[in-house]
Amino acid sequence: MDSPEELVRAFYDALDEHAYDDLRGLLDPEFVQERPDRTFEDREAFVAFMREDRPQTDTTHEIERVFVDEDRAAVQGRLLDSSGEELFRFADVHDVEDDRIVHLRTYTH
């Protein structure tokens, strides 16, 4: 990856395309995601949830803005269902080290 912005855009593309091997490659093995309803303590737990347990998989992340400050990227966007209806808005803060996402904090409304 050339930049944190390209890395986080690839993250959302992998989620939307169900490209879980690609997703795994973007995340550090010690990856942690904190979100309002739960915390994933490592990469494998996060990828397994996205592959097998998330309640709705036919979604698209519409990225509105990406803000980068050194090794951190903040993303503002919307999660859309298969008909293009907004499910919710989100703000994600990604911490990047060595071309991998090591930490993700998610805020939704």
Question: Domain range for residue 30?
Answer: 4-108
List the structure tokens of 41: 């303590």
C-alpha–C-alpha distance, residues 109 and 98, integer Å: 31
Q: Domain with 91 in it: what CATH number?
A: 3.10.450.50
Q: How many domains does the chain have?
A: 1
pTM above 0.85, yes or no: yes
Q: Residue 2 pLDDT > 80, yes or no?
A: no
Q: Bridge partners of 21?
A: none
The per-residue pLDDT for range 16-74, each reduced to its tens digit, is 999 999 999 999 999 999 999 999 999 999 999 999 999 899 999 999 999 999 999 99
